[in-house]
Structure 1
């Protein structure tokens, strides 16, 4: 599913004006199997977006009244065909503004969650939003992956490895000294 119907209805009234929308980014991290080499690192699931060609974690807009966890689980099923479980909150922050090819502008209040899937699960592209999907070693992520996505994937690995010491990120703003 691309643009939710309620957004299409809103666009009929407000045109290309900026919308502020709740969204979820689903960071799926697959840990190293027991007995693996000490050199192996976790992997993360990414999809290559049809609109930009960039690789990214699964993400989507919340439907009206939909819980954040339900949005993440729904988006993973819709985009890569996998059943997922929400494991942890990684952070929240503003993303955008984003201007789409048709001129629509959005600002997102994004909540990033770490999800898990069956360790043997393999993704399949199951909608028109993505061209392909696959597992990537966190040590060898695609060049087209954004800095924010690299950050939240690192947060997902940190939370997986050290859950009691992890503190969710508030804001995705670049810090300067």
Structure 2
């Protein structure tokens, strides 16, 4: 998995300490199929994912990652979920706190293939047969397929505390 240059620059200063990064998940839909790839680092079957580059619009990042990882052109139709992932500790000890932005994307063109080595295989999967996709990715897929519903925002303890403070101030 290629680490973006800006992350390498940050790592030279921060070492392995936690970095806050913005990631994207592109749930790419074509009819009754979605595009999934098998990651080369851990073998997991997932939608297309990646990191937003500095100054890049997140929807553009989702489209860029689809082209870079799977060789397909997509259109980001809507943001479906904003959530903080639990801290990730990579094999080399680097810690990352990813804010994940999940987009529903429509396939536009291209036959999928493992374009940059981040995936060992890429292909279309029927919605009723997603194989060994982990539950965390099933949730992303379900939310992306949930019509044109509003974007879901995870409300944690801070959101509940703020709501209680607002009520107390009234």
TM range, smaller chain: 0.7 to 0.9
The answer on whether the counterparts of 1:80 and 1:133 sit within 8 Å (CA) in structure 2 is yes
Q: Deviations over 1:66-121 (max 9, x none)?
A: 10111111100000011111111111010121111111111111111111113x74
Aligned partner of 2:112 among 123, 127, 133: 123
Once the 2 structures are TM-superposed, how far is the Cα of residue 59 of structure 1 from its aligned partner?
0.8
Partner of 1:154: 142
Q: Aligned partners of 2:60 and 2:106: how far apart in 1? A: 14
Q: Aligned partners of 1:157 and 1:146: how far apart in 2? A: 17
Point out where structure 1 has 5 or more consecutive residues left out of the alignment: 32-41
Once the 2 structures are TM-superposed, how far is the Cα of residue 139 of structure 1 from its aligned partner?
1.3
Query: 147-156 or 58-67, which moves further after superposition?
Result: 147-156
Q: Aligned partners of 2:5 and 2:18: how far apart in 1? A: 17
Partner of 1:9: 9
SS in structure 2 of the partner of residue 84 of structure 1: strand
Point out where structure 2 has 5 or more consecutive residues left out of the alignment: 157-170
Partner of 1:114: 104
Q: Aligned partners of 2:64 and 2:97: how far apart in 1? A: 21
The answer on whether the counterparts of 1:19 and 1:105 sit within 8 Å (CA) in structure 2 is yes
Partner of 1:100: 90
Equivalent residue pairs, number: 156
Question: Structure 2 length normalisation: TM-score?
Answer: 0.86
Distance 1:79 1:172, change over 3 A: farther
Distance 1:125 1:75, change over 3 A: same
Where in structure 1 do 4 or more consecutive aligned residues deviate above 2 Å?
A: none
Once the 2 structures are TM-superposed, how far is the Cα of residue 169 of structure 1 from its aligned partner?
1.5
Once the 2 structures are TM-superposed, how far is the Cα of residue 152 of structure 1 from its aligned partner?
1.2
Once the 2 structures are TM-superposed, how far is the Cα of residue 46 of structure 1 from its aligned partner?
0.5
Partner of 2:168: none
Give the root-mean-square deviation of aligned CA atoms: 1.6
SS in structure 2 of the partner of residue 88 of structure 1: strand
The answer on whether the counterparts of 1:92 and 1:172 sit within 8 Å (CA) in structure 2 is no
Partner of 2:129: 140
The answer on whether the counterparts of 2:71 and 2:110 sit within 8 Å (CA) in structure 1 is no
Q: Does 1:61 align with 2:51?
A: yes
SS in structure 1 of the partner of residue 129 of structure 2: coil
